[in-house]
Chains A and B, each alone.
Chain A
Amino acid sequence: GAGVSQTPSNKVTEKGKYVELRCDPISGHTALYWYRQSLGQGPEFLIYFQGTGAADDSGLPNDRFFAVRPEGSVSTLKIQRTERGDSAVYLCASSFGTANTGELFFGEGSRLTVL
């Protein structure tokens, strides 16, 4: 597709369950980012991939959160033992190259609700 695609758009789960959120970036974009947006807040950085490797994962809140990008394209954000505080919209963005010029292309997000 032409833009960043995220699935699912909505996910409702129970506390303690495992969740996977998928991001398909714009074709040819080498950089991929995950952000989290809680209610009433701006997006917060989680992790950044350049190619297949996680270049910066300093924003992941704890070891229950993990992300992969095995072939340098699609990425999956994995959350283990979900907690109610994990409820948020998870945003994926991609960009071409490594420059920090801020031109990120965002998907519509995956809304996670933990009951």
Chain B
Amino acid sequence: AQSVTQLDSQVPVFEEAPVELRCNYSSSVSVYLFWYVQYPNQGLQLLLKYLSGSTLVKGINGFEAEFNKSQTSFHLRKPSVHISDTAEYFCAVTPRTGTASKLTFGTGTRLQVTL
């Protein structure tokens, strides 16, 4: 079984400041890792994913995340946030061996960007 922990339920930040949203996971098998974003009144959309290769992955809207196997973490970062980044962010994992994207999600982090 897998579990995902997002310790920060809310992160307030000023526009143009950097931000890091933390994600840790637990799994008895190797996993793929994802970040999804949910903007107000919209469905979840994929922000970025780590399948293999370089542990630093880049996603849409200037976000990036780094996979750290020893710390079982996949933190999301952006060097300078915009008001439009205000949304809920979900970290998720799925086992590498499988034929379905049976994602296990964290509880989400609400990023609130203000002027």
Which A residues lie at the B interface, using CB under 8 A?
A: 3-4, 31, 33, 35, 40-45, 48, 50, 55-56, 59, 91, 93, 95, 98-109
Contact indicator B42/A108 (Cβ below 8 Å): yes
Would you call B7 an interface residue if the criterion is a C-beta within 8 Å of the partner chain's C-beta atoms? no
Q: Ordered nearest first, which 5 A-B pairs have the shortest CB separation?
A: A42-B105, A106-B43, A106-B44, A102-B34, A100-B98
Q: Is the interface of A mostly helix, strand, loop or mixed?
A: loop
Contact A101 B101 (CB under 8 A): yes
Could you tell me the distance between the alpha carbons of A33 and B101 in the complex, rounded to whole angstroms? 9
Query: Are A42 and B108 neighbours in the complex by a CB distance under 8 Å?
Result: yes
In which size bucket is the chain B interface?
A: 20 to 34
Task: Tell me if B43 and A4 are in contact (CB < 8 A).
Answer: yes
| B44 and A43 within 8 A (CB) | yes
Are B107 and A31 neighbours in the complex by a CB distance under 8 Å? no
Contacts of A40 in B (CB 8 A): 107
Q: Is B99 an interface residue (CB 8 A)?
A: yes
A44 to B90, CA, bound (A): 12
Chain A: minimal CB distance from B40 (Å) = 11
A85 to chain B, nearest CB (A): 18
Tell me, in angstroms, the Cα distance from A33 to B81 when the chains sit together.
32
* A42-B4 in contact given A55-B99, A95-B101, A98-B100 (Cβ < 8 Å): yes
> A48 CA to B101 CA in the complex, in Å?
9
User: CA separation between A100 and B93, bound complex, in Å?
Assistant: 10
Query: Which B residues between 17 and 48 are near A, CB-CB below 8 angstroms?
Result: 32, 34, 36, 41-46
Complex: A104 Cα to B43 Cα, angstroms = 11
CA distance A50 to B100 in the complex (A): 9
* Chain B residue at minimum C-beta to C-beta distance from A59: B102
A56 touches B43 (CB 8 A): no
Whose C-beta in chain A lies nearest to the C-beta of B50?
A102
